[in-house]
């Protein structure tokens, strides 16, 4: 997840750097590049590309495409770190969906951790003057991502990670093409460094998707999803030094609250054991 978050940070940077190119055009290039890379990897490994659990593979591709569209939109219309923080409502969505459909257990300490992280997201929204429509797009992207990650989780030890990755661009690409047919628009021809950023978007996405897929296949959704919050650090650093974004102390405080919830979630079992020891100590006294 740490490798995935770092790769996605550079994907975010690439998307943000080509804000003058319409979001659906960026997704078109991104889907095309990752589709080629994914298929080439499957061919080289001689892996059957269509998989066997088609219902969940299609769900992963469809929901992943929806999350991608919403997230790329917020990246181009909001400050980098703010877009990332709002998108990181997805771990909460992921955990709730996993609890209902996958029957994964969520400890009360993890609920407290998610409540803390969510309050931090609310603080960022309240203090950062984020447009309501942009915020709702970010929330929609988080919900779609939560559904996609649970589809991945449901295919634990059942599908090859590269097959799961292959399905997202395979579904995203025709969806974007249909959009262009229904809503024709002027195509912005990439120039100079635009090509570097477009290709970077595809490559870094491929790296991030591989490692995040493997992570969700290896551990519970509640633990894995929370690690993605580390991406907030990358967002703040890149926003500050690469895009000259400025964040008031109140927004930084909100981000700190989000991360404190993450750390509590990751160490929920240790905290609970410590609390039990303290409680036992007081009872004996």
Task: Tell me the per-residue pLDDT of 202-255, one tens digit each, with 9 for 90 and over.
Answer: 999 899 989 988 887 887 766 776 677 677 778 778 888 888 888 788 778 887
Alpha-helical (H) ranges within the chain are: 2-17, 23-45, 54-77, 80-87, 90-101, 108-127, 132-154, 161-182, 193-218, 221-227, 231-242, 249-266, 268-284
The pair of structure tokens assigned to 173 is 């690409």
| pLDDT at residue 248, rounded to an integer | 80
pLDDT of residue 125 exceeding 70, the answer is no
Q: Rounded to an integer, what distance in angstroms lies between the CA atom of residue 95 and that of residue 114?
A: 9
The average pLDDT across 120-144 equals 81
User: In which band, very low, low, confident or very high, does the pLDDT at 184 lie, cut at 50, 70 and 90?
Assistant: confident
Q: Check pLDDT > 90 for residue 117.
A: no
- 135-157 average pLDDT score: 89
pLDDT band of residue 57 (cuts 50, 70, 90) is very high
**pLDDT score for 222:** 65
Nearest to 19 by CA among 88, 85, 78, 83: 78
Distance (Å, rounded) from C-alpha 239 to C-alpha 84?
11
- The residue that leads in pLDDT, 89 or 19, is 19
CB contact at 8 A, 271 and 42: no
135 vs 45 pLDDT, higher one: 45
pTM here is 0.78
The CA-atom distances, in angstroms, between 262 and each of 11, 109, 150, 221, 224 are: 22, 11, 19, 13, 10
Are the C-beta atoms of 23 and 86 separated by less than 8 Å? no
- Taking residues 159-178, what's their average pLDDT? 92
Q: Report d(CA 198, CA 263) in Å as an integer.
A: 34
Phi, psi of 188 (to 5 degrees): -85, 115
Task: Give 90's contacts (C-beta < 8 A, 6+ positions apart).
Answer: 67, 141, 142, 143, 145, 146, 149, 225, 228
Average pLDDT over the chain reads 84
């Amino acid at each position: 997840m740490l490798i995935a978050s770092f790769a996605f940070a550079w994907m975010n940077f690439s998307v943000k750097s080509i804000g003058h190119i319409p979001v659906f055009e960026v997704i078109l290039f991104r889907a095309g590049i990752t589709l080629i890379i994914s298929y080439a990897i499957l061919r080289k490994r001689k892996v059957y590309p269509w998989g066997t659990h088609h219902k969940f593979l299609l769900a992963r591709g469809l929901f992943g495409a929806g999350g991608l569209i919403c997230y790329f939109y917020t990246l181009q219309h909001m400050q980098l770190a703010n877009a990332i923080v709002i998108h990181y409502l997805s771990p909460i969505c992921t955990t709730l969906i996993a609890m209902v459909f996958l029957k994964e257990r969520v400890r009360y300490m993890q609920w407290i951790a998610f409540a803390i992280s969510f309050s931090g997201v609310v603080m960022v929204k309240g203090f950062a003057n984020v447009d309501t429509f942009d915020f709702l797009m970010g929330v929609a992207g988080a919900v779609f991502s939560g559904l996609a990650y649970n589809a991945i989780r449901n295919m634990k030890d059942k599908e090859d990670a590269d097959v799961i990755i292959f399905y997202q661009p395979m579904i995203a690409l025709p969806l974007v093409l249909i959009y262009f047919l229904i809503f024709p628009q002027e195509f912005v021809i990439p120039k100079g460094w635009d090509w570097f950023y477009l290709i970077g978007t595809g490559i870094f996405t491929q790296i991030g998707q591989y490692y995040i897929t493997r992570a969700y296949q290896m551990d519970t959704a509640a633990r894995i999803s929370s690690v993605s919050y580390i991406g907030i650090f990358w967002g703040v650093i890149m926003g500050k030094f690469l895009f000259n974004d400025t964040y008031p102390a109140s927004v930084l405080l909100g981000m700190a609250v989000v991360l404190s919830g993450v750390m509590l979630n990751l160490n929920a079992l240790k905290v609970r054991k410590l609390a039990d020891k303290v409680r036992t100590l007081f009872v004996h006294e």
